[in-house]
Every structure is written in C-alpha cells, then in structure tokens.
Amino acid sequence: MTAIPRALPGRTGERAARRRWLDDALTLLLYALPFVAVGAFYPLVGRFSGWRPPHVADVRALELRLFPVHVGTEVRGVSEVIAAHSSVVLDLLCGAAYFLFLPEVFGMALYLFFRSRRRALELSVGFLAVNLLGWAIWVLFPVAPPWYADLHSAGAGQALQAAANPAALERVDTLLGMHYFARFYAKSQYVFGALPSLHAAYAVLVARVVWPLGGALRAITLVFAGIIAFAAMYLRHHYLLDVLAGAALGFSVGTLVLAVPLGKRSEVVAS
C-alpha cells in the first residue's frame, strides 16, 4: 500500500496565514462600506438645497436668549464672544482641528480595526447613522451658519443658493499661504446644515465609542472633541446650539451602537 504524503507543516502554516490575511482584508472592506456609503450619499443632500427657507435670525435670537453674555451695554451670544477674541495661535489650533476632523474618524477606525474589531465596527456603523440623521435634520430644519448671518445681517435667508464659505478659516489659508479651506468648502453640497454640527457629532461619536477602552485614547479623543467644539464657534461655522445638538447626536448614536451586539464580544484582536 502506498503511503499518502502528509502536508508539510510549513506549507500548512503558509496557507493558514494567507487565509487569515484574506479574511482580514475582506473584513476591512466590509467595515469600510459605511464610510463609502457616506461619501456616495453626501452629494444627494445638495439636491435639497433651497427646498425650505433656512432659519437665520430666529436661531441667533434663541442663542442670545439661552446663552447671553453681557459685554458692556450689549448682549451677545457665546459664539460671538468667542469669535471676537481671535489670535494667530487660536487660528492655527482651530484650523488644525478642522483639518483633522475627518482624518481622526478614519484613522481611529483603522487603529481600532487592529486593536478592537468590535469597536471599529461600532464606529463605522455609528458614522453612517450620525450622517443620515444629521442630514435628515438639515433638510427638515435648515439652519444658516453664523457667517451667513454676518454676511446677510441676520436676514430671512433670501439667498437660498448661497455658496459655502470658509469663514474665519480664510485667515488660516492666508497665514499658511494656501487655499486648502477655500477649496474644501467650495465643494460643500449644503450650506444650511449648521444644526446639528457634524464636526461636533463626529468627534463626540469617536470619544464615546473608544470610552470603554480607557487610558490615553479616552483622554485624547475627549480633548479633541473639546477643541472641535470650541473651533466650530471660534471660526463662525456654528452657534453653541449647533454644537450642543451635534454633541448630543454623536453621544446618542455612540451609546446606541455600544449597546447593540455588533461583532464579537472580545475587545482586543489577537496578534
């Protein structure tokens, strides 16, 4: 009887390694699908621009009522007071935060993929949910950003097809001798999406998802969320109301995805 040759241990290990690599690659693509979907759906939001007149003066008035700051004989909103105290250091800090607001989400998702697959999936699904809910609110309740109120004297929003504006980020472009933010906001699909602030929502979502991991990761994401919240007002992109609404959205979605059993229960991916 002829003996059946056994597979060499080395070749078996190589095949297993290739199989694991393929599984990881396919899983990464699957986890990336929500991010791809956001990029694909975002241009559709622009089709609703002008569908409903934006809220301009009423939102600013509400901010003055809820968060008044008395400056001499005048009453100003928190966001106005913050924006009035500009400096080169704050321009650069807030510009850096706005430059990193998307890379933070994508970079953290990739990092979590190799540390905690479950958290990576939660962040990916949460990112899609935050955008879909945020866009729905934008369309149903369009709100003009502070820079628009500044340009149009807080009028009734007569320029429904107004072009997006980098606002105070123009100072950052000037400081650095570039046109990054001008070009970035020229591609904006929807001007009247101030409430909720998705900048704040993304940062809070990331902080909420990584919270169970603790350590430096928790502290870094919380600090970044705080800087984004400040920058949104300092740069005249959002009122405090917008920031609070965005933070609430990001926190709520993050809490929900943490509660739903997505992926495996294990926290750390085996090396």
pTM value is 0.89
154 domain-assigned: yes
3 domain-assigned: no
Please give the C-alpha separations between residue 49 and each of 52, 200, 248, in angstroms, as whole numbers.
Answer: 8, 22, 24
246 domain-assigned: yes
**What angle separates helix 198-210 from helix 215-234, to the nearest 10 degrees?**
170
- HSE-up (13 A, CA, CB side) for residue 156: 3
What is the spatial distance between Cα 131 and Cα 41, in angstroms, rounded to a whole number? 10
23 domain-assigned: yes
251 domain-assigned: yes
Full pLDDT tens readout for the chain, 271 residues: 555 555 555 667 777 777 788 888 899 999 999 999 999 999 999 888 878 889 998 998 999 999 999 888 888 999 999 999 999 999 999 999 999 999 999 999 999 999 999 999 999 999 999 999 999 999 999 999 999 988 876 554 455 557 788 999 999 999 999 999 999 998 888 999 999 999 999 999 999 999 999 999 999 999 999 999 999 999 999 999 999 999 999 999 999 999 988 765 445 543 3
264 domain-assigned: no
7 domain-assigned: no
Residue 181 burial (10 A CB sphere; 0-12, 13-18, 19+): buried
Domain of 36, in residue numbers = 12-259
**Do 225 and 155 touch, CB atoms closer than 8 A?**
no
Q: Which residues of 247-267 are buried (b: 16+ CB within 10 A; e: fewer)?
A: bebbbbbbeebbeeebbeeee
6 domain-assigned: no
Quote the number of domains for the chain.
Answer: 1
